[in-house]
């Protein structure tokens, strides 16, 4: 029996060793699969990180371009407003000069009108004096 028992024990050990080897092979294959999957995930992660960095760079560029367009538009609007303001100021200065010239002409015209009125009054007074003298002469002749 001892020989049979030794034989059974030997078979059990052989079977256990086969199962152990299979388990070790399975564990090694699982480890290799896990390592490959981790490497693939790391590669995917790196690709995603690079793509995210590129998208972020593109967004920054587009944002800078948009800001530059807005700055340019603002500068053009300010320049146009300043130009329009300069035109308005020039027109206001021209209008003020014309008003002053008109005031000067009005003063001249008032002076001319006053002179004409004075001459007209003098002429009227002279004519009246002439009439009065003519009436006196007539009255003196009668």
In whole angstroms, give the CA distance from residue 91 to residue 130: 56
Domain ranges of the chain: 1-104
Report percent pLDDT > 90 for the chain: 73
In whole angstroms, give the CA distance from residue 15 to residue 73: 85
Mind listing the pLDDT tens digit for each residue in 20-38?
999 999 999 999 999 999 9
Q: How confident is the model at residue 9 (pLDDT cuts 50, 70, 90)?
A: confident
In whole angstroms, give the CA distance from residue 77 to residue 82: 9
Mind listing the pLDDT tens digit for each residue in 78-129?
999 999 999 999 999 999 999 999 998 898 888 888 888 999 999 999 999 9
- Identify the H or E element spanning 62: helix 2-141
> What does DSSP assign to residue 142?
-
In whole angstroms, give the CA distance from residue 52 to residue 46: 10
């Amino acid at each position: 029996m001892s020989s049979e028992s030794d034989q059974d024990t030997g078979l059990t050990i052989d079977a256990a060793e086969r199962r152990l080897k299979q388990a070790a092979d399975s564990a090694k294959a699982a480890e290799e699969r896990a390592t490959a999957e981790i490497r693939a995930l790391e590669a995917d992660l790196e690709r995603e990180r690079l793509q995210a960095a590129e998208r972020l760079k593109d967004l920054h560029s587009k944002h800078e371009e948009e800001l530059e367009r807005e700055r340019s538009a603002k500068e053009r609007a300010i320049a146009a407003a300043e130009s329009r303001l300069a035109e308005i100021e020039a027109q206001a200065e021209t209008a003020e000069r014309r008003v002053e010239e008109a005031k000067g002409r009005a003063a001249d015209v008032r002076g001319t009108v006053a002179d004409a009125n004075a001459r007209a009054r003098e002429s009227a007074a002279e004519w009246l004096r002439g009439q009065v003298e003519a009436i006196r002469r007539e009255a003196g002749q009668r």
